[in-house]
């Protein structure tokens, strides 16, 4: 599975399988992508690699890094030390984003009040988004 930025300068490859595809409503993800919510896939360390030019890294908060293309600005991923080395790639950056159907909403307490959802997916609130919604 591959993904890339808008200008194609930065690309990445995922060996899979992915851990999950979730929709995040946290302010940091919304601001990084200028979107009311984002969808991302979780990929364990060692099961992905950058192709071509590596992205720029922005440390958005302690222990959290976000990547983007320095040429076109496309946001590509985030990684948190609190999430066991898992890289989270934005699903929209994948070559075939339609193959990644989300199964969970995270940071739901930060959802914008005007955003109405009727997808029936479970929600997770609080800081630990890695736990199974059980």
Question: Which tens digits make up the pLDDT trace of 27-51?
Answer: 988 999 999 999 999 999 889 999 9
> Looking at the domain assignment, is residue 127 inside a domain?
no
Q: Which of 19-33, 64-78, 112-126 has the highest mean pLDDT?
A: 64-78
> Looking at the domain assignment, is residue 54 inside a domain?
yes
Quote the pLDDT of residue 39: 95
Q: How confident is the model at residue 127 (pLDDT cuts 50, 70, 90)?
A: low
How many domains is the chain partitioned into structurally? 1
Global confidence as pTM: 0.86
> Looking at the domain assignment, is residue 128 inside a domain?
no
CATH assignment at residue 69: 2.170.150.70
Whole-angstrom Cα distance, residue 40 to residue 58?
18
> Looking at the domain assignment, is residue 27 inside a domain?
yes
Domain that holds residue 36: 2-121
> Looking at the domain assignment, is residue 88 inside a domain?
yes
> Looking at the domain assignment, is residue 129 inside a domain?
no
- Give the list of residues 6+ apart from residue 100 with CB closer than 8 angstroms, or none: 18, 21, 39, 41, 91, 94
Cα Dmax for the chain:
41
> Looking at the domain assignment, is residue 90 inside a domain?
yes
CA distances from 91 to 39, 45, 82, 97, 120 (A): 6, 17, 21, 5, 20
Only one residue has tokens 């808008």, namely 6
> Looking at the domain assignment, is residue 131 inside a domain?
no
């Amino acid at each position: 599975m591959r993904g890339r930025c808008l200008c194609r300068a930065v690309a990445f490859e995922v060996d899979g399988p992915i851990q999950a595809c979730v929709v995040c409503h946290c302010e940091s993800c919304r601001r990084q992508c200028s979107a009311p919510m984002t969808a991302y896939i979780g990929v364990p360390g060692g099961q992905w690699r950058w192709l071509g030019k590596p992205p720029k890294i922005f440390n958005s908060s302690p222990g959290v890094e976000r990547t983007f293309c320095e040429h076109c600005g496309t946001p590509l991923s985030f990684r948190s030390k609190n999430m066991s080395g898992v890289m989270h790639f934005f699903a929209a950056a994948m070559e075939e984003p339609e193959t990644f159907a989300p199964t969970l909403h995270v940071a739901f307490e930060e959802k914008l009040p005007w955003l109405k959802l009727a997808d029936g997916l479970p929600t997770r609130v609080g800081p630990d988004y890695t736990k199974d919604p059980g």
